[in-house]
Structure 1
Amino acid sequence: MPSIAVVALPDAILSGVLGPMEIFALANQIVETRSGRHCPVPFPNISLVATERGSVVGSTGVSLRSDQSLEECQADIVILPPVGGNVVDHLGDRSLINWLKQQQEVGTILASSCAGAFFLAEAGLLDEKPATTHWYLADLFRVRYPLVDLQPQRMLVDGGAYICAGGVMAWQDLALHIIARFCDLELAAQCAKMFVMDGTRQAQTPYFMFDSPRDDTDQSIDPGVQHTLRWMKGHYQDAVSVDELAGMAHLGIRTFLRRFKHATGQTPMGYLQQLRIEAARQYLEITTKTIEEVIGLCGYHDSSAFRRVFKEKTGLTPKEYRRRFSRLSEV
């Protein structure tokens, strides 16, 4: 029966610290109820550890008191939770990084959710291996750790000796996966039902948001490209060619394409497609318009082409997306 330690990192998101512990405790309770109190529970030792024994302040300002210091910890599975703020600010704790390396050497399974993967990567434990983290942090992660095979579309990656879960709340997926892997699928399903959680999520793509870090308000962007970006945001449903967009910017085609890519990281048509898909998502979330109406409002004339691109970008069909994310009581 594996022992589990959750690391209380400074500025940790406390749901990601306490949440997994609650799920593992529930798994123990279910087994006791099902098999009797004298039956061994799956997770007999669930502890909270920190760099040093004592209080650790989380992202909300609330303090937790750790059971053990890192040096005292002897767990089979170690979980690194999400942290708030700028994760890079927390990567300078070399005692934690060196401890993670030591844990890997003695066969401890290292698990992370959200930004916790940065600590594993900082220790070099994910080089040449698949991993995931929060989709919003993907660009930063790739820049810092180019040797890691980052797959941000995935909700969870199990590499055997390590496990990475994606978004802030993916500690739920991580905890359920650990229960399924070290106990059984039935127990994991029971925990998911008791906590009313979706235990079947495989991808983060439905949660991706179109968020270009540089847009039409950035004064460092070429004024012509700024003008074009503003036009595209207001007229994403209109048919337009690259030649016409370059003309709006008063730039030659090659110069326009180069400056547009520098400003947005995308081609003009790729950017326009992102705008259209984001608009479609909004329509599906907050209106009762039919899918065919949404397709027309977003500038698509080929229904099959729209459905193909939408599935590619979100991982769901338009109907599935509306069913999961509609903010209306009835659609």
Structure 2
Amino acid sequence: MRTVGCLIFDGVRAFDYAVIGEVWANRASRPGAPVFELRVCGPEGARVRLGGGLERVPDFGLDALAGCDLVVVPGVEDPAASRDPSVLAALRAVHGSGVAVAALCAGAFVLAEAGLLDGREATTHWALAPELARRFQAVEVHPEVLFTGGDGLWTSAGVAAGIDLCLHLVRAAHGQQVAATIARAMVTAPFRAGGQAQFIPSPVPEDVGRGDDDPLTAARAEILAALGTPWTVRRMAAAALMSERSFARHFTAATGTTPLRWLLEQRVLTAQRLLEETDLPVDTIATRCGFGSAVSLRPAFVARVGVAPREYRTRCGFGSAVSLRPAFVARVGVAPREYRRAFRGRGEE
């Protein structure tokens, strides 16, 4: 995933458009991250009116979407507005050709109007979810999650959840390290699971500021330090010195997800990191992360990352160009390709 298309048309949200640019076009402070080509595409020759009174002339016409690895649709200011038929036709054509398509916030309405979400799961901003479900009854709307998708189609909830989905797509294509580098440059959280709740009633624990005595924080730290342990809710609750019911209730209120779902996400995330940063056998990684074997790791990994562990390692892992570059530059002073160009033909390794 190196060429990303940002599809703009009248009424798209300026914030979402900016998020796409920050993730895939801003090259500052990103050592080791690949250089992406961001194509801002729209109806040819048209001046697009973004939300907030901004205007933008697309750099490319709609036909340039076909040459992209991913197309991202920003949210729209007015979900009820009808879209340019040429925009909808372009989305159908590009997805039909195998290009992945993602929509941020109310951009889900655009995908639904194009017929791409029929029979699929989707989400949008929680306040707009009932309207999406009412207008497009063939779409299975999940208003509680940050983002959802797979098989080349993705949707996200509102505002900051669009950042989460964009970083997830980077992570799936280029690895956790690259996504974390981009997140750090954006000064945003590097990972929020798609299944996490959109709205957490009490995002800051009540006893924050009272030292390190938060039982949930202590329990999570203990779990993360021993992911290979066969954790159950009962065992996690015991680590927090709580009853199972009380622990589950407080955990969900604090994190936006259930203890077992959080545990699974952490295990997959750790497996990603180990595949990227070490040459440990996949079976060893699976055991360390609590899956027991590579056979058990594979379905959970594929469901959340989109590829099998061994394919992920080939693409993003130990020994890949993306993983090699930061360490090589730190020790040699130039990137691997630059080093090769400098010494090619001199008989030097």
Deviation of 1:93 after TM superposition, in Å, equals 2.1
* Contact persistence 2:48–2:58 (CA under 8 A): yes
**1:87 aligned residue (79, 88, 92):** 79
How many residue pairs get aligned? The number is: 227
- Give the TM-score taking structure 1 as reference length: 0.59
2:75 and 2:198 map into 1 onto residues whose CA distance is 17
SS of equivalent to 2:109: helix
SS of equivalent to 1:136: coil
SS of equivalent to 2:63: coil
- Give the % identical residues: 26
- Once the two structures are superposed, residues 64-119 of structure 1 have per-residue CA deviations (whole angstroms, 9 ceiling, x without a partner) of 121012134332211100112x3111x34222112111111111111111001111
Specify the alignment match of 1:116 in structure 2: 107
**1:58 aligned residue (50, 61, 65):** 50
1:146 and 1:73 map into 2 onto residues whose CA distance is 28
Specify the alignment match of 1:261 in structure 2: none
Specify the alignment match of 1:68 in structure 2: 60
Q: Indicate whether 1:133 and 2:116 are aligned.
A: no
Deviation of 1:281 after TM superposition, in Å, equals 8.3
2:138 and 2:117 map into 1 onto residues whose CA distance is 8
For 2:131, the aligned partner's letter is L
Deviation of 1:19 after TM superposition, in Å, equals 2.0
Specify the alignment match of 1:23 in structure 2: 23
1:190 and 1:310 map into 2 onto residues whose CA distance is 32
Deviation of 1:206 after TM superposition, in Å, equals 5.2
Gaps of 5+ in 2: 215-242, 258-349
2:108 and 2:120 map into 1 onto residues whose CA distance is 12
1:305 and 1:127 map into 2 onto residues whose CA distance is 38
2:171 and 2:205 map into 1 onto residues whose CA distance is 37
For 1:136, the aligned partner's letter is A
Q: Give the 5 Å matches for 1:211-250.
A: none
For 1:193, the aligned partner's letter is R
Deviation of 1:195 after TM superposition, in Å, equals 1.2
* Contact persistence 2:32–2:178 (CA under 8 A): no
Change (3 A) 1:312 1:194: closer
Q: Give the 5 Å matches for 1:149-298.
A: 149-202=140-193, 207-208=198-199
Specify the alignment match of 1:257 in structure 2: none
Deviation of 1:174 after TM superposition, in Å, equals 2.2
Gaps of 5+ in 1: 36-40, 210-277, 292-302, 318-331
Higher Cα Rg, which structure: 1
1:76 and 1:179 map into 2 onto residues whose CA distance is 12
Q: Indicate whether 1:77 and 2:66 are aligned.
A: no
For 1:170, the aligned partner's letter is A
For 2:5, the aligned partner's letter is A
Specify the alignment match of 1:265 in structure 2: none
For 2:45, the aligned partner's letter is R
2:23 and 2:204 map into 1 onto residues whose CA distance is 33
- Give the TM-score taking structure 2 as reference length: 0.56
Change (3 A) 1:28 1:47: farther
2:29 and 2:85 map into 1 onto residues whose CA distance is 37
2:140 and 2:52 map into 1 onto residues whose CA distance is 32
For 2:74, the aligned partner's letter is P
Deviation of 1:148 after TM superposition, in Å, equals 1.6
For 1:82, the aligned partner's letter is G
- Once the two structures are superposed, residues 236-294 of structure 1 have per-residue CA deviations (whole angstroms, 9 ceiling, x without a partner) of xxxxxxxxxxxxxxxxxxxxxxxxxxxxxxxxxxxxxxxxxx7x889969xx9xx9xxx
2:21 and 2:249 map into 1 onto residues whose CA distance is 39
Let me know the Cα RMSD of the aligned residues.
Answer: 3.4
Change (3 A) 1:311 1:203: farther
* Contact persistence 1:132–1:165 (CA under 8 A): yes
Change (3 A) 1:316 1:92: closer
Specify the alignment match of 2:11 in structure 1: 11
Deviation of 1:176 after TM superposition, in Å, equals 1.0
